[in-house]
Amino acid sequence: MLSRTAENLYWMSRHIERAENTARVLDVAHRTSLLPLDIEGTEAYLWYAPLNITGCAISYEAKHGLARADAVTHYMALDADNPASIYSCLRLARENARSVRGAITSEMWQVINDTWLELKRLPEEMDHEKFRDFFDWVKDRSHLFRGVTLGTILKDIGLSFIKLGTFLERADNTARILDVKYHILLPSVSDVGGAADYYQWGSLLKSVSAFEAYQRIYRDVISPLRVSELLIFRADMPRSLHACMNEVEAALLEINGFSGQEARRLAGEQHAALHFGRIEDAFGRGLHEYLTDFLKNTALLGREIREAYLSRHDRMLNPK
Amino acid sequence: MNTKILEKYFNEMYSDNGAVREIYESYARWLKELPDGTLERRNTEAELLFRRLGITFAVYGETDNVERLIPFDIVPRIFGASEWRRLEMGLKQRVRALNAFLHDIYHDQEIIKAGVISAQQVLDNVLYRPEMQGVDLPNQVYAHIAGIDLVRVAENDFYVLEDNLRTPSGVSYMLENRKTMMRLFPELFAKHTVEPVEHYPQMLLNTLREAAPPNVTYPVIVVMTPGSYNSAYFEHAYLASQMGVELVEGQDLFVHQQKVYMHTTDGPQQVHVIYRRVDDDFIDPRVFLPDSTLGVPGLMDAYCSGNVALANGVGTGVADDKSTYLFVPEMIRFYLGETPLLSNVPTWRLSEPEDLSYVLAHLPELVIKEVQGSGGYGMLVGPTSTKAEIAAYKQRIQAEPAKFIAQPTLALSCCPTLVESGVAPRHVDLRPFVLSGKEVRIVPGGLTRVALNEGSLVVNSSQGGGTKDTWVLED
Q: What is the pLDDT along chain B (475 residues), one digit of tens a residue?
A: 233 333 478 999 998 888 999 999 999 999 999 998 899 999 988 888 877 665 655 444 444 445 567 889 999 999 999 999 999 999 999 999 999 999 999 999 999 999 999 999 899 999 999 999 999 999 999 999 999 999 999 988 999 999 999 999 999 999 999 999 999 999 999 999 999 999 999 999 999 999 999 999 999 999 999 998 888 888 998 999 899 999 999 999 999 999 999 999 988 999 999 999 999 999 999 999 999 999 999 999 999 999 999 999 999 999 998 889 999 999 999 999 999 999 999 999 898 899 999 999 999 989 998 887 665 677 888 888 899 999 999 999 999 998 899 999 888 999 999 998 889 999 999 999 999 999 999 999 999 999 998 888 888 776 778 999 999 998 7
Does the distance separating the beta carbons of A259 and B267 come in below 8 Å?
yes
Neighbouring C-beta atoms of residue A187, cutoff 10 Å = 13
- A163 with A300, same domain: the answer is yes
Q: Counting one residue from A and one from B, how many pairs have CB atoms under 8 Å apart?
A: 70
Separation of alpha carbons B163 and B147, rounded Å? 6
Does the pLDDT value for residue A306 go beyond 80?
yes
User: What is the model's pLDDT at position B55?
Assistant: 60
- A90 with A176, same domain: the answer is no
**Percent of chain B surpassing pLDDT 70:** 94
Does the pLDDT value for residue A319 go beyond 80?
no
pTM of the model: 0.83
- A218 with A234, same domain: the answer is yes
Going by C-alpha positions, the residue among A247, A257, A268, A197 that lies closest to residue A226 is A197
Enclosing H/E stretch for B56:
strand B56-57
Nearest CA in chain A to B222: A2
- A4 with A149, same domain: the answer is yes
Residue ranges, comma separated, of all CATH 3.30.1490.270 domains in chain B are: 347-408
DSSP B451-463: E-STT-----GGG
pLDDT tens digits for range A10-61 = 999 999 999 999 999 898 888 877 776 655 566 777 788 889 888 888 999 9
Residues of chain B with C-beta less than 8 angstroms from the C-beta of A106: 52-54
Nearest CB among B240, B246, B256 relative to A319 is that of B256
Does the distance separating the beta carbons of B53 and A6 come in below 8 Å?
no
Chain B touched by A317 (CB under 8 Å)? yes
- Is residue A318 situated within a structural domain? no
- A41 with A170, same domain: the answer is no
Using DSSP's 3-state secondary structure scheme, residue B419 falls into strand
- Is residue A174 situated within a structural domain? yes
Separation of alpha carbons B107 and A14, rounded Å? 54
- A292 with A170, same domain: the answer is yes
Does the pLDDT value for residue A199 go beyond 80?
no
Lowest mean per-residue pLDDT among A106-110, A202-206, B258-262, B462-466 = B462-466
User: In this structure, what DSSP letter does residue B402 have?
Assistant: G
Residues of chain B with C-beta less than 8 angstroms from the C-beta of A255: 265
Going by pLDDT thresholds of 50, 70 and 90, the confidence category of residue A300 is very high
| The domain boundary residue, chosen from A153, A177, A205 | A153
* Residue A225 C-alpha, separation from nearest chain B C-alpha, in angstroms: 41
Does the distance separating the beta carbons of B240 and A102 come in below 8 Å?
yes
**Helical spans, DSSP H, in B36-170:** 38-53, 81-105, 110-113, 119-123
Instruction: Identify whether the C-beta of residue B300 lies closer than 8 Å to the C-beta of residue B283.
Output: yes
pLDDT tens digits for range B283-318 = 999 999 999 999 999 999 999 999 999 999 999 999
User: What is the model's pLDDT at position B360?
Assistant: 93
User: What is the model's pLDDT at position B370?
Assistant: 87
Phi first, then psi: give them for residue B224, nearest 5 degrees. -110, 125
Does the distance separating the beta carbons of A106 and B268 come in below 8 Å?
no
B443 Cβ contact partners less than 8 Å away, ≥ 6 residues apart: B196, B197, B199, B200, B203, B433
Is the model more confident about B299 or about A101? B299
3-state helix, strand, coil in chain B (%, to 5): 35, 25, 40
| The domain boundary residue, chosen from A153, A177, A209 | A153
- A118 with A141, same domain: the answer is yes
User: Is B347-408 assigned to CATH 2.60.120.620?
Assistant: no
Chain B touched by A105 (CB under 8 Å)? no
- A31 with A165, same domain: the answer is no
- A258 with A292, same domain: the answer is yes
User: What is the model's pLDDT at position B231?
Assistant: 82
Does the distance separating the beta carbons of B53 and A2 come in below 8 Å?
no
Separation of alpha carbons A220 and A189, rounded Å? 16
- Is residue A192 situated within a structural domain? yes
User: What is the model's pLDDT at position B57?
Assistant: 53
* Residue B197 C-alpha, separation from nearest chain A C-alpha, in angstroms: 22
Using DSSP's 3-state secondary structure scheme, residue B215 falls into coil
Does the distance separating the beta carbons of A316 and B246 come in below 8 Å?
no
Domain count, chain A: 2
Interface residues of B toward A, Cβ cutoff 8 Å, are: 52-54, 227-228, 237, 240-241, 246-249, 251-252, 254, 256, 261-270
Instruction: Identify whether the C-beta of residue A217 lies closer than 8 Å to the C-beta of residue A211.
Output: no
Residues of chain B with C-beta less than 8 angstroms from the C-beta of A316: 263, 267-268
| The domain boundary residue, chosen from A115, A131, A153 | A153
Q: How would you class A47 by CB atoms within 10 Å of its CB: exposed for 0-12, middle for 13-18, buried for 19 or more? A: buried
Task: Kindly give the pairing relationship between strand B267-270 and strand B380-381.
Answer: unpaired
Nearest CB among B227, B240, B264 relative to A3 is that of B264
Range of the domain at A131: 1-153
- A107 with A188, same domain: the answer is no
Nearest CB among B227, B246, B265 relative to A157 is that of B265
Q: Which one of A3, A113, A315 would you mutate to disrupt binding with B, by most B Cβ within 10 Å of its Cβ?
A: A3
Q: Residue B195 carries which side chain, given as an amino acid letter?
A: E
In this prediction, residues A67-89 reach a mean pLDDT of: 94
Separation of alpha carbons B364 and B380, rounded Å? 9
* Residue B261 C-alpha, separation from nearest chain A C-alpha, in angstroms: 9
Using DSSP's 3-state secondary structure scheme, residue B88 falls into helix
Going by C-alpha positions, the residue among A137, A213, A225, A221 that lies closest to residue A182 is A225
Residues of chain A with C-beta less than 8 angstroms from the C-beta of B254: 312, 314, 317
Residues of chain B with C-beta less than 8 angstroms from the C-beta of A101: 54, 228, 237
